Amino acid sequence: MNSNRRLCAVAAVALLVVTAGCLTVSPSISSADDSAVFERVSTVSEWGTASVQGSVTLTPTATTEMGVTRLNVITSGGKSFYTTTVDAGQTSVSLPIPTETRSQIVAVNTVNGTVVETYNVTVDGTRYP
């Protein structure tokens, strides 16, 4: 029975890779940008296909003094990948970040319609086709 479960798990991962693209193992998220909005962007995901789950830590003043109310993840091709709202005082956000391209996390103040900051990120890891 144990070998059947293992076979099912391997088959599920193989199906996921075939339908979703490359598999990225041991991913990490990096950025060379200095930031007034973002303290840290990291991941605890052990693997990902089209994206990994990112953990974003905002500075204490991002949502209060700078007025950030939304984060947009944009691919290098300029396509919107994910959008989420943030509340005043919120400093921790979880969002998916694409694995097969450079991305930008755009902090937006939706009250006055301005971009507060654009933060470039890259997901690195071992990729398997």
pTM of the model: 0.82
Per-residue pLDDT of the chain (129 residues; tens, 9 = 90+): 567 666 655 555 555 444 446 899 999 999 999 999 999 999 999 999 999 999 999 999 999 999 999 999 999 999 999 999 999 999 999 999 999 789 999 999 999 999 999 999 999 999 988
Those residues whose C-beta lies under 8 Å from the C-beta of residue 7, and which sit 6 or more positions away, are none
Alpha-carbon span 42 to 23, nearest angstrom? 18
Domain coordinates of the chain in residue numbers? 23-128
3 state DSSP class of 90: coil
CATH number belonging to the domain at 23-128, selected among 2.60.40.10, 3.40.50.12780, 1.10.10.10, 3.90.870.30:
2.60.40.10
Alpha-carbon span 24 to 126, nearest angstrom? 5
pLDDT digit string, tens, across residues 46-75: 999 999 999 999 999 999 999 999 999 999
